[in-house]
A and B are shown apart, each in its own frame.
Chain A
Amino acid sequence: MTVSVETRRSRVTVYAKSTAPSLTPVKPGKTHEFTALDHSMSRHSVHLVCYYRQAPTVTMTALKESLCDVLSYYPAMTGRLVKNEGDGCGEWMVKCNDAGVRMVDARADTTLDEFLATATDEEERQLAYWEDVGSDPYLWSPYCIQFTDFKDGSMAVGISCTHFHADPTCVAVFSRAWSETHRRALVTCPPFFHPWAFYPRKNPVPSSPHLSEKSTIPPPLHPPAMSSVTFAFSASSVRQCLADLQLSNLSPFDALASLLWLQISSYKSASLGTAQLTLAVDCRRRMSAPLPLGFYGNALHFFGVKADLSSGWSHIASELNRHVSGIKEDDVWSSVEWLHERSKEKAFQMYGPELTCIAWDNVPVYNAEFSPGAIPVYVGCRIGNVQGEGLVVIMAGAPGEGEEARTVIVTLPTDLTAQIYRDEAILKYGPKIMFSPNI
């Protein structure tokens, strides 16, 4: 069903493109290899946008200088993709050739507050400029940083990168390191380059029924157009949700993820039965030899949760809770080893075609303070190339809204998005609706 919409002209204009080198040259011959998890994510991209109020030290020129400074710690970011001819495996790896990251300058024809109140999904996407790999990967920058100036002097910093290199946590930790470098403070989570972190164990048990199933699903012939909407739940709304569930030991994630799963599924088909939801959880801290937060690369564990949707919201929520808290390290290793076995084959769609949800609310994202005491007003995160039934990202909410506040970014086929953001059950909790599609 096509809906004719009046598309408003976008207020964001990109006017210049350049490249930022690192301050210190990289030693020639340095390389960075990818793990099996990195290879599996190669079809997607990560986009993180942080919005800042006007401050004397937060200007485009100053930010570009500190970006060059922090890049000295991230030689893998300034490198380029090459095929690893060395040990004959022919896989992609990063040659740290010191080429730098792409920078894009843009301006928005509105003030920050007005933008946050009235911007569409399309306009928010334009704050994180992204170009897919062209004909020559050696000339393509896997990172792109956009600086957008608002009319009132506020600024939005959009960091886009290929999911090959980094997962959302990695990008958030980078923005924090960048802000600490800008303030001339100590970098609390320096990058940890360790591609052997996910090397198969001595006695590997490669098995991932969930991922095997995903890999066999053929890509759709006519993938539907996707659009997104953002729900910003304040702490009181989340507490209300938890109160309504009447179960103890549930986290805000359980409540919100189950609510959205239930509502989205109810729009897809009239009758609800057993359904499966793919969850993606950051497993840096879940390994027995925990990886530091600064671990550079992907550490998202994908697994499936089955629940009977007709049993009601509370049941779904408790099922989610049970599965998330019950993740065993062995499962993580098994799925890593399974991916390692098939790493030579083409990567398949990780976010999709079935409904996926990323549990990202335990990762702090509002700590990138470019000027002392000035945290971002809002932080948004998107994943590129989501297809199929859609993606739900649950991340920490703006600090002003309270500790339990959450921001939920829902990406669905366009006609579903139109329905979900008018959904009564969700609107009952009074979330602020941001970046809705242009309708």
Chain B
Amino acid sequence: MPAQPLPDFSTSVRLKYVKLGYQYLVNHFLTLLLIPMIATCVLELVRRGPEELISVYNSLDLDVIHILCSSFVIIFVLTVYYMSRPRPVYLVDYACFKPAPSCRVPFATFMEHTSMICEDPKSVQFQTRILERSGLGEETCLPPANHYIPPNPTMEAARAEAQLVIFSAIDDLIKKTGLQPKHIDILVVNCSLFSPTPSLSAMIVNKYKLRSNIKSFNLSGMGCSAGLLSIDLARDLLQVLPGSNALVISTEIITPNFYKGNRRDMLLPNCLFRMGAAAILLSNRRRDATRAKYRLLHVVRTHKGADDRAYRCVYQEEDSDGHCGISLSKDLMAIAGDALKSNITTIGPLVLPMSEQLLFFFTLVGRKLINPTLRPYIPDFKQAFEHFCIHAGGRAVIDELQKSLQLSAEHVEASRMTLHRFGNTSSSSLWYELNYIESKGRMKRGDRVWQIGFGSGFKCNSAVWKCLRTVKTPVDGPWAECIHRYPVDIPEIVKL
């Protein structure tokens, strides 16, 4: 039987090998250059023999002054180099708040309460449709005050929720790391929608009896991406303060923000936002390098607030009945895509391997100079990172990012499963996703993680971490009891 001409498959396989070869060549260019050079030098030295080397050395006519000056110059340059390097920032460990199952809000309960509280049947219908397509599961939790008919959002209840979620997370972190509260040097808390006086950071200082010279900060109003902003602030402070550690708390307090009105663009947060908090311990101490889990490589912040449309895209205001709510505009996804593109443009050169950058550069040059219709090259971020933590803002956000970054289902599994199990916990969702990846035993030493957060403003922030030690399962955390049930298949629409 004559050999049939191979179909396109063969050409694509050949293309794949070409691509692989190109990547190895470009990414390891320096190594490929250096090895032959070193080999040549070594051979030359061996060939010449020790007597010839000594005679070459003597012919240089070096005396003590020369040697001292050259050593001094070398040591000076090395010292300047080491002193001007940024201090490494290590993530020693982190802990996430695990809500009690009695705070659980099954879909049926949520819809029943909504029907009883909301007078407008159209709003009830709208919220049912949102919940059906939300990607949330039956185990997401709301704070106790929101379980009442109607919800009871007093300041006392909000403080109680803050104390519950924050103190649980910090207690967990103290147990895991052996951290002594009086050794905390920097405290950064971010909680967008609840900002009492004294602040939440003062509440933590009071509860744990932190030192009087602690550098504490409370970031409020900065949206769902504020978690990475706090990390950035802590990192900057750790550059200035040697031998310190920083406790970063990311949370969102749901109690005071139940929307009582009927405007559709303001009803989404009611359906999606759930209780959650994360406590993260960062350090720049050398001795923490051995026990730290991750090292912070980059933080890239992109703020599109200069554009009016982006600024008004997530906007808190009062509706015509005087009820305060957060409105999400219809072009949220478009603006998010835009912000992401800006962020990628900045982070790309920092993290992408040279092969991808060159390809992108040549395609760009080709589009500008030769042929404008050439398809723009989307760099393959899967080569820069092993794990992706995309803010679980909603199913649409994850779908959009999966499409634009060309990620596989396994890459976005952490985000989807976090949305299913915990809902949208705002700034702390990235930490629940990281915990998912660890609980699944997928985090190995040397793996790089990309955390992407989106938030009001409109901001897109990224953080890149490198794993310093393989995380062994079972991992103690919010996923401990349910990780064996995941991943689950989340249907497009859950019929309510």
Residues in chain A within 8 A of chain B (CB atoms): 16-21, 23-25, 64-65, 68-69, 80, 97-100, 136, 139, 141
> Assuming A25-B138, A25-B139, A98-B138, is B102 touching A19 (CB within 8 A)?
no
Given contacts A25-B139, A99-B109, A139-B115, contact A18 B147 (CB under 8 A): yes
Further 19 A-B residue pairs, CB within 8 A, beyond A20-B102, A25-B138, A141-B112: A18-B147, A19-B113, A19-B149, A21-B104, A23-B101, A23-B102, A23-B104, A25-B106, A25-B139, A64-B102, A97-B106, A98-B107, A98-B108, A98-B109, A98-B138, A99-B109, A100-B108, A136-B115, A139-B112
Residues in B whose Cβ lies below 8 Å from that of A65: 100, 102
- The distance from the CB of A104 to the nearest CB of chain B, in whole angstroms, is 10
**Using an 8 Å CB-CB cutoff, how does the interface string of B112-152 with A read, 1 for contact, 0 for none?**
11011000000000000000000000110000000111001
**CA distance in complex: A139, B124 (Å):** 13
Bound: A16/B113 CA distance, A? 13
Closest residue of B by beta carbon distance from A103: B147
Q: Are B116 and A139 in contact (CB under 8 A)?
A: yes
Question: Residue on A with the closest CB to B112?
Answer: A139
5 A-B pairs with least C-beta separation: A99-B108, A68-B102, A97-B108, A98-B106, A25-B138
Shortest B52–chain A CB gap in Å is 81
Shortest Cβ distance from residue A68 to the other chain B in the assembled complex, whole angstroms? 4
Asked if B96 is at the interface of the complex by the 8 Å CB criterion, the answer is: no
Report how far A249 CA is from B200 CA in the complex, Å: 72
Inter-subunit contact A17/B149 (CB<8 Å): yes
Residue contacts A-B, CB under 8 angstroms, 26 given: A17-B148, A18-B147, A18-B149, A19-B113, A20-B102, A21-B102, A21-B104, A21-B106, A21-B109, A25-B104, A25-B106, A64-B102, A65-B100, A65-B102, A68-B101, A68-B102, A98-B106, A98-B108, A98-B109, A98-B138, A99-B108, A99-B112, A100-B106, A100-B108, A139-B112, A139-B115
* Beta-carbon nearest neighbor of A66 in chain B: B102
In the complex, which residues of chain B have a beta carbon less than 8 angstroms from the beta carbon of A99?
Answer: 106, 108-109, 112
Instruction: Judge if B467 is at the interface, Cβ distance under 8 Å.
Output: no
Q: Residue on A with the closest CB to B102?
A: A68
- A16, A19, A20, A24: which contacts B112 (Cβ < 8 A)? A19
Distance to closest chain A CB from B257 (angstroms): 18
Residues in B neighbouring A97, C-beta threshold 8 A: 106, 108
- Decide yes or no: A100 and B109 within 8 Å by CB, A19-B149, A23-B102, A25-B138 being known contacts: yes
A286 to chain B, nearest CB (A): 37
Q: Name the residue on A nearest B141 (C-beta).
A: A21
**B105 contacts the other chain (CB 8 A):** yes
- B145 — nearest CB in chain A belongs to which residue? A18
- For A25, give the chain B residue with the smallest CB separation: B138
Contact B148 A18 (CB under 8 A): yes
- A219 CA to B116 CA in the complex, in Å? 33
Distance A100 CA – B113 CA, assembled complex (angstroms):
11
How far, in angstroms, from A16 to B105 measured CA to CA in the complex? 18
A16→B109 contact, CB < 8 A? no
Q: How far is the CA of A23 from the CA of B148 in the complex (A)?
A: 18
Q: How far is the CA of A98 from the CA of B100 in the complex (A)?
A: 17
B residues adjacent to A (C-beta < 8 A): 100-102, 104-109, 112-113, 115-116, 138-139, 147-149, 152
B43 shortest CB reach to chain A, Å: 70
> Complex: how many Å from CA A69 to CA B102?
8
Closest to A136 in B: B115
Q: Which residues of B contact A23 (CB under 8 A)?
A: 101-102, 104
Smallest CB separation, A15 vs chain B (Å):
10
Chain A positions within 8 Å of B100 at CB level: 65
* A104 nearest in chain B by CB position: B149
Q: Which residues of A contact B104 (CB under 8 A)?
A: 21, 23, 25
B109 contacts which chain A residues (CB < 8 A)? 19, 21, 98-100
A16 to B108, CA, bound (A): 20
Q: Give, as a whole number of angstroms, the nearest-CB distance from A51 to chain B.
A: 24
Residues of B within 8 A of A17 (CB): 148-149
Are B147 and A24 in contact (CB-based, < 8 A)? no
A25 to B139, CA, bound (A): 7
Q: What residues of chain A lie closer than 8 Å to B101, measured between beta carbons?
A: 23-24, 68
Chain B min CB distance to A385 (Å): 24
Q: Which residue of A is nearest B116, CB measured?
A: A139
Residue of B whose beta carbon sits closest to that of A141: B112
Bound-complex Cα distance A100 to B152 (A): 19
**Contact, CB under 8 Å: A80 / B139:** no
**Chain B residue with Cβ nearest A20:** B102
| Residues of the B chain whose Cβ atoms lie less than 8 Å from the Cβ of A64 | 102
Tell me which residues across on chain A come within 8 A of B147, comparing CB atoms.
18-19
Residues of the B chain whose Cβ atoms lie less than 8 Å from the Cβ of A19: 109, 112-113, 147, 149
Q: Once the chains are docked, how many angstroms separate the CA of A97 from the CA of B111? A: 11
User: In the docked arrangement, what's the CA distance between A23 and B90, Å?
Assistant: 38
How far is A307 from B329 in the complex, measured between Cα atoms in Å?
78
A356 vs B435: C-alpha distance in the bound complex, in angstroms?
Answer: 62
Task: Give bound CA distance, A97 to B108, whole Å.
Answer: 6
Q: How far is the CA of A64 from the CA of B102 in the complex (A)?
A: 8
Q: How far is the CB of A383 from chain B (nearest CB, A)?
A: 27
**Which of B102, B115, B149 has the largest number of chain A CB atoms within 10 A?**
B102
B99 to chain A, nearest CB (A): 12
Measured in the bound complex, the distance between the Cα atoms of B149 and A306 in whole Å is: 50
Please tell me if the beta carbons of B148 and A16 are within 8 angstroms of each other in the complex. yes
Chain A residues near B148: list those with CB within 8 A.
16-18
Distance in angstroms between the alpha carbons of A65 and B104 in the assembled complex: 11
CB distance from B485 to the nearest CB of A (A): 11
Nearest CB of B to A93, in Å: 16
Task: For B112, list chain A residues within 8 Å (CB).
Answer: 19, 99, 139, 141
Question: Which residue on chain B has the smallest CB distance to residue A79?
Answer: B108
Q: Which of A21, A69, A80 has the most CB of B within 10 A?
A: A21
Q: Which residue of B lies closest to A24 (CB)?
A: B101
* Chain B hits for A136, CB < 8 A: 115
For residue B142, give the distance in angstroms from its CB to the closest CB of chain A: 10
How far is B100's CA from A351's CA once the two chains are assembled, in angstroms? Answer: 43
Given the complex of chains A and B, what is the CA–CA distance between A17 and B149 in angstroms? 6
CA of A48 to CA of B40 in the docked complex: distance in angstroms? 94
Alpha-carbon gap, A110 to B147, bound state (A) = 28
| Contact residues in B for A25 (Cβ distance below 8 Å) | 104, 106, 138-139
**CB nearest neighbor in B for A140:** B112
